[in-house]
Structure 1
Amino acid sequence: MTAELVRGQNHPLSQARLEIRITAGVPVVAGAALSDENGTARGDEWVAHPGAPTLPGIEVSRQAAADHRLAVDLAAMPEAVHRVNVLLALPSGAGGPLRFGAVTAPRAAVTGLDGTEIARYTLTGLDAESAVVALELYRRQGGWKVRAVGQGYAGGLAALFTDLGMPGAGELAGGIQEAVARGLARSVAAPPPRPADGDRTRRAAAPAAGADQPGSASRAADPVPPRPAHPYEASGPYAAQTPAGPGERGYEPTADSAQPTAATGSPIDYTHPNRGHATAPPPPPQAPPAPPGSPAPPVAGDAAGWSLDERLYNQVWGMFEDLARTAAAYRSAVDFADSRMEKELDQVLSDPRSRLGSSGDAAREAARAKRAQLVDQAAAVLDRDLAQLTAEAGVVEPAFPPAYARWDNPVWHGYRVPTEPPMALRLGDLHLPERPALRIPLLMRLPLERGLWIDSGPTAADVSALDSGELRQRAMETAVSVAARLLAAHPAGDFAVHVIDPAGSAARELAPLVRAGVLAASPATGAAGVTQALGGLTQRVDLVQMALRGGATDALPPGLDTARHLLIVNDFPHGFDDRAVTALRYLADEGPSVGVHLLMVADRQDAAAYGPLLDPLWRSLMRLTPVPDDHLADPWVGHAWTYEPSLVPPGSQVLDHVLAQVAIARTKIQ
């Protein structure tokens, strides 16, 4: 039976290996500070945080998130550690709330490896605090107990660490926030909040519940986002500035949010934007009954949602999360097996009587055998889960609509211009080293909430041996692929693409767009062309913002294009003066809220001469690479995922076919 703790209450812990699950209404930082018998944390090496997530006996998340799972092994705690303080903090400078009193009360639960709750505590009564000690695990008469603490600090992590007696508290707090900012900058944005677990019927792959991991937790479906009928209506995305999901820039839910999360216990509004009644979406298709003892066969669209597109989108994100947690469980099991073997070997070597001779050899062999057994158990569960996800990917991929499909999918050969945009767009594929062949589509919600930056410089994981010129060409090909997808995903006339190519070096890569006549204007070249292109888009942003702020959208110039706009900038910063750089920063910050989006093709090393001037620009964009690179992190456990762009197969005519359809549709509405 679960113990519902109140502040100051304690509860005994009968298990050494536990999970601490944190649920919050907004992304929070989770960490743990170890302390001695006097309650003192002796230094930075006694704190597990996103920048240093692993300590003996504990592992925390690598980035800010609305949900966390902290792995704890009390038997592996050093003898000098008498307390484990579980810490929560709000990330600074991320555009979110700055105090816990403005958000839903966080909840902390201590669970066993099977997911059964042992004790839980809801942190109520917080106000101006931005950091809090949620729980304390402490030694008591040879055992361990958990205490509900709920001690908040208006001074943030610096004040919390100072209270723990830690030297250099301010420097450590700043370093943690910097690590969180770096994690957010490379993180794949999570989908919007989902309803309670029971509302999602998709079968989730169970995480590797080997020697040290919990069983799987069911996940809920993403709510269907309302889509306005016209971009300049009072309820449109330009006026409302569509909120981002957890992990995205600008995400700032409150207790009064229009879409309540599962953490609040409020129902999700599944009202479809084109239906006048508020009812739940139809149930997803059910898999046919499977033979006893075997898993049910996967079904495409096996998730909640009104349309197949919505169900497929929710299903892909469920697969993404399943694979992230399954891999995390396997890696944690291997780490535990390694640490256990090392501990047993240390015990053997510490005893002179067993250090040498047959008894020592037998003890070493037994430790290695235990390690191999634990790893084999975890690998068996991993293989089972990966096989299930691979089978699911095999039925989902052929069912994708064009916006979600690879360029080699036959669905593109029957492409017709849509009458309304989809929920999301495929930007590429993600995979982990445990199973590189299992690819998860990287689906980004529409409309775009942040710009894109395609890095044309060398990457750490680049093994293609491409020279700098070839990398720039591949980067521009990736940009053209993304632009073509955006054009193909929107109704005719609803999306416009502009290009700035100061030196005209990307003529070959831009040829499909130019040849089809789908660009809003010829690629801008030279200083005058750059100035004219940037001036036109910044003026559009200014006009729409002034109209929205003044409530006078009907006063906009009659000739103003109401379409969304994408600006492709090639070979930055060559050919750009300070005024052009300032204009680009303005478009990156202010453009998305009024339908102007930025796609930059640049090598960041080339911009080093600008120093910190361009750092805010790079941080505001989502980095993609033209070659495989492991720079993206998931929003759940922070794995480094290898990203591969979605490019047209060599020799394929599918891009010309799609762009021709777009051009014909645009001609008909003119």
Structure 2
Amino acid sequence: MTAELVRGQNHALPDTRLEIRVSAGHPVVAGATLADEDGRVAGVEWIAHPGSPSLPGVEVSQQAAADHRLAVDLEAVPASVHRVSLLLALPVGVGGPSRFGALAAPFVAVTGLDGAEIASYTITGLEGESAVFALELYRRQGAWKVRAIGQGYEGGLAAMLADQGLQGSAELAGTILDAVARGLARSVSAPPPRVPEAERVRHTTPAATPDQTAAGRPAPAPEPADPPAPAQSGAPAGGGPIDYAHPRRRPAAPAPQPATPPAGSPQGPPVPVAGDATGWSMEERLYNQVWGMFEDLARTTAAYRSACDFAQSRMDQELDRVLSDPRSRIGGQGDAARAEARAKHDELTARARESLDRDLAQLAAESAVVEPALPAAFAGWENPVWHAYRVPMEIPMALRLGDVHLPEQTDLRIPMLVRLPLERGLWVDSGRGRSEAANLLDEGTLRRLALDTAVALASRLLAVYPAGEFTVHVVDAAGSGAASLAPLVESDVLAAPPAAGPAAVSALLAQLTDRVDLLQMAARAGAADALPPGLVPGEQLLIVHDFPHGFDDRAVTQLRYLADEGPSVGVHLMMVADRDEASGYGPLLDPMWRKLLRLSPVADDHLADPWVGHAWTYEPPLVPEGSRILWQVLAQVAHARREWGR
């Protein structure tokens, strides 16, 4: 049972591997401090924040968001740490409220890894404060507990850090807020808010104006303060009428309706148009439109689930009142009350489903026109655009890594797009995890599908980069992946044959770690022209198959280094591994796994959106059975590489 804490109250924690969820209804900065037994924070290296998001046992988000999920492993924190405190602060210089009193009370919850809520705390009573210590996890007599704090600071982040006894608290607060501002200026993790249907850009409207975008890329805006939070969109607090309207499809001011529609005016919902989002180019407009569809589906489903929860809660309360009265437990009066409660429940859920179906139908219609219009980098392998493929001259802004969908309508697939160049490595999980689809397959088939998925992803990366600007290396230590690797090997698109055996694996890892060292030193010194002439230009990808078989401690350390430092200089890692099999290395590999984006070779609901935290089912981008399109694309890539190398 969940413990609903009030300020100062504590609760025992049954586990040490936890997740802290934050819901604020408006973008906030989330961070954490590590303190000793006396509550003293030793220095800036004991603070996790957007500019330095990872500490031993703690990982926070790199940008401001309305909803956060913080990973905590209390066994991994240093032995001298006795307190882990969660801090929240409002970003400055990006618009929006400057005090928590102007917002709904922030809500924080501590959950287990299975999502079960352990303790929650609604931070009430805030007024002029712009930073607050929400709660702390503390060690007491060898056991960990959580305590609700709710200590606010009108002086903001700087005053909060100074209260921890930190020297240079103002400078550190500035560093944190600068990192947040840079994150809000990038269109990487979250898209801009959806334009209402009535205000959408149409064919005859200019695609974008300079004040809509910045530097050729749309800047994601913080969530507006006035719309209701997604989790509350269906259920009124006071038991009044439920608003089933989608929160992203309300015009700011309803236009007056004419008494008689003009002749020839369209009836019903607007007709979807591919590329009707903002952006300088069609590619950018389609990217933003896909993100908008993803957000719309997340929020309309949240409204439906919230309305159903409200209907169930209301029926339960009414039934409890009936059962609490001895006179109504038996006889016709009690039966009538129960029937009435169930009828109200059915009516509310039916209306919620009707609203959901209406939104899903509109999104399905939009998907039907958007999918055929996608460029190759955004398109699935089954899209005819791949049959007209030519090696591009420029790097696209994003790449499709597969599809995601929700159980309310599994055939409505939203492309999963990530920005290029990759900001983090990839991990294709060859283990069973909690996937029902994986449990139906034998171990050998699952491993083969995992490597097939990795090959499909690597082929897409090769295909969307100009000739010579992307190089793929493969480690197949045991030589067991020859069949799946055949498209890459036989098309001659690899930098060298797959590395097999300890000597070849060691040489390849040494080559890539040396490359990272050289590029980092050149970047720090501002001497890019001083790089060795034999250094191959462009991005590099290392596919590691069947880890940890054939890897010693030195190789594991090098892989961790590539995962940590490689993406910043264009060296990327793609692991094909079963994490359970790698658990023998203990906590050594945990930071590496957390840095990689987990993908699965079969359907698995392990991804969460940044708005309401739905569990999305991921589908890998596998080539249709019997299709030769991947081979045809790789043949063109290989030809372009040979022409470029002459």
**Fold agreement, TM-score > 0.5:** yes
Q: Is residue 525 from structure 1 mapped to residue 500 from structure 2 by the alignment?
A: yes
2:479 maps to which residue? 504
Aligned partners of 1:536 and 1:65: how far apart in 2? 45
> Structure 1 residues 658 and 315, CA, compared in 2 at 3 Å: closer, same or farther?
same
Give the Å deviation of 1:43: 5.1
CA gap of 1:310–1:149, structure 2 versus 1, over 3 A, is: same
Aligned partners of 1:407 and 1:649 also within 8 Å: yes
The superposition leaves residues 401-438 of structure 1 with CA deviations (integer Å, 9 ceiling, x where unpaired) of 11111101111011000000111111100000000000
Q: Per-residue CA shift, 1:503-545, capped at 9, x if unaligned? A: 1111010101111110011100000110011011101100010
CA distance in structure 1 between the aligned counterparts of 2:517 and 2:472, rounded to whole angstroms: 19
Counterparts of residues 453-492 of structure 1 (less than 5 Å): 453-463=427-437, 465-492=440-467
Q: Distance in 1 between matches of 2:435 and 2:630?
A: 28
Task: Supply the distance in 2 between the matched residues of 1:607 and 1:654 (Cα, whole angstroms).
Answer: 34
User: Aligned partners of 2:348, 2:517: CA distance in 1, in Å?
Assistant: 61
Which residue in 1 is equivalent to 2:297? Answer: 323
After TM superposition, give the deviation of residue 94 of structure 1 in Å. 2.7
The CA deviation at 1:563 is 1.1
SS in 1 for 2:623: coil
1:386 equivalent in structure 2: 360
Match of 2:513 among 519, 538, 541: 538
What are the equivalent positions in structure 2 for 1:48-197 lying under 5 Å apart? 61=23, 66=27, 93-94=59-60, 96=62, 100=89, 103-104=92-93, 120=102, 136=124, 148=127, 150=129, 152-153=131-132, 157-158=135-136, 168-170=145-147, 191=188
Write the distance in 2 (CA, Å) between the matches of 1:627 and 1:193.
25
Q: Where do residues 238-387 of structure 1 align in structure 2 (5 Å cutoff)?
A: 261-262=221-222, 291-387=265-361
Q: 1:435 to 1:203 in 2, by over 3 A?
A: farther
RMSD, matched Cα: 3.9
> What displacement does 1:120 show?
3.4
| 1:126-172 superposed Cα distances (whole Å, 9 cap, x missing partner) | xxxxxxx99737xxxxxxxxx7363854x652299x9xxxx944599
| AA matched with 2:517 | D
The AA in structure 2 aligned to 1:157 is: L
Whether the aligned pair in 2 keeps the contact of 1:457 and 1:602 (CA below 8 Å) is: yes
What's the secondary structure of 1:512's corresponding residue?
A: helix
Q: Which amino acid in structure 1 is aligned with residue 570 of structure 2?
A: G
2:605 maps to 1:630: yes
1:255 counterpart residue number: none
Q: Is 2:633 the counterpart of 1:645?
A: no
The separation in 2 between residues aligned to 1:159 and 1:103, in whole angstroms, is 27
Code of the residue aligned with 1:66 in structure 2: it is: P
Instruction: Judge conservation of contact 2:193–2:292 (CA < 8 Å) in 1.
Output: no
* Kept in 2: contact 1:201–1:304 (CA 8 A): no
Which of 538, 545, 548 is the aligned partner of 1:573? 548
Question: Conserved in 1, the CA contact under 8 Å of 2:472 and 2:541?
Answer: yes
CA distance in 1 between counterparts of 2:122 and 2:264 reads 44
The code of the aligned residue for 1:333 comes to: A
Please say if 1:446 is aligned against 2:412. Answer: no
Q: How many residues align?
A: 493
Offset at 1:225?
A: 6.2
Q: Counterpart in 1 of 2:166? A: none
Give CA deviations for 1:333-383 in whole Å, capped at 9, x if unaligned: 000000000000000000011111000000000000000000001000000
Q: Is the 8 A contact 2:10 2:147 kept in 1?
A: no
Counterparts of 1:543 and 1:52, CA distance in 2: 38
Of 630, 635, 643, the residue aligned with 1:655 is 630
SS at match of 1:157: strand
Distance 1:418 1:457, change over 3 A: same
Residue identity in the other structure for 2:347: Q
CA contact (8 A) 2:603 2:618 kept: yes
Q: Which amino acid aligns with 1:158?
A: E
Distance 2:639 2:605 in 1: 39
Report SS of the residue matched to 2:541. Answer: strand
The one-letter code of the counterpart of 2:324 is S
Deviation at residue 615 of structure 1 after TM alignment: 0.3
8 Å CA contact 1:625, 1:644 repeated in 2: yes
Which residue does the alignment assign to 1:495? 470
Structure 1 residues 195 and 337, CA gap change in structure 2 (3 angstroms)? closer
Distance 1:201 1:447 in 2: 35
**AA of the residue aligned to 1:595:** G
Once residues 292 and 482 of structure 1 are traced to their aligned partners in structure 2, the CA distance between those partners, rounded to angstroms, is: 43
**Does structure 2 retain, via aligned residues, the 8 Å contact 1:192–1:223?**
no
**SS in structure 1 opposite 2:437?**
coil
C-alpha deviation, 1:307, in angstroms: 1.3
User: How far apart are 1:263 and its partner, in Å?
Assistant: 7.2
> 1:589-626 CA deviation, whole Å, 9 max, x = no partner?
00000000000000011111111111011001000000
For the 8 Å contact 1:109–1:121, the answer to whether it is kept is no
Task: Decide whether the 8 Å contact of 1:425 with 1:445 is kept in 2.
Answer: yes
Greater alpha carbon shift after TM alignment, 91-100 vs 408-417 = 91-100
Q: Tell me by how many angstroms 1:666 deviates.
A: 1.1
Letter in 2 for 1:375: T
Distance 1:564 1:108, change over 3 A: same
Determine whether 1:428 maps to 2:397.
no
- List gaps (5 residues or longer) in structure 1: 1-30, 54-59, 69-88, 111-118, 124-132, 138-146, 174-188, 205-220, 228-244, 246-258, 266-288
1:610 equivalent in structure 2: 585
Partner secondary structure for residue 124 of structure 2: strand
For 1:136 and 1:290, how far apart are their aligned partners in 2? 53
Kept in 2: contact 1:573–1:607 (CA 8 A) = yes
Cα distance change, pair 101–357 in 1 and its aligned pair in 2 (3 A): closer
Establish whether residue 557 from structure 1 lines up as the match of residue 523 from structure 2.
Answer: no
Give 1:268's aligned residue: none
Structure 1 residues 656 and 64, CA gap change in structure 2 (3 angstroms): farther
In 1, distance between residues paired with 2:335 and 2:61?
Answer: 58
**TM-superposition CA deviations, 1:192-244 (whole Å, max 9, x none):** 5666776998759xxxxxxxxxxxxxxxx9956669xxxxxxxxxxxxxxxxx
Cα deviation 1:45-69 (Å, max 9, x = unaligned): 9xxxx9587xxxxxx74x998379x
Could you tell me how far 1:100 is from its partner in structure 2? 3.5
- On the 8 A contact 2:137/2:145 being kept in 1, the answer is no
Q: Which amino acid aligns with 1:394?
A: A
Aligned equivalents of 2:92, 2:589: Cα separation in 1: 32
Name the aligned partner's letter for residue 368 of structure 1. R
Maintained 8 Å contact 2:26/2:222: no
Deviation, 1:553, is 1.2
Say if 1:311 and 1:468 are closer, same or farther in 2 by CA, change over 3 A: same
Superposed CA deviations along residues 244-294 of structure 1, whole A, max 9, x for unmatched, are x9xxxxxxxxxxxxx6845799xxxxxxxxxxxxxxxxxxxxxxx994541
Distance in 2 of aligned mates of 1:93 and 1:360:
53
Indicate conservation of the 8 Å contact 1:423/1:446, yes or no: yes
CA separation of 1:264/1:430 partners in 2, compared to 1, >3 Å: closer, same or farther?
A: closer
Change (3 A) 1:600 1:225: farther
SS at match of 2:508: helix
Distance in 2 of aligned mates of 1:510 and 1:196: 41
Shift of 1:93: 3.7
Whether 2:574 is the aligned partner of 1:599: answer yes
Identity of aligned residues (%): 56
Q: 1:389 to 1:200 in 2, by over 3 A?
A: closer
- CA 1:559/1:313 → structure 2, altered by over 3 Å: closer, same or farther? same
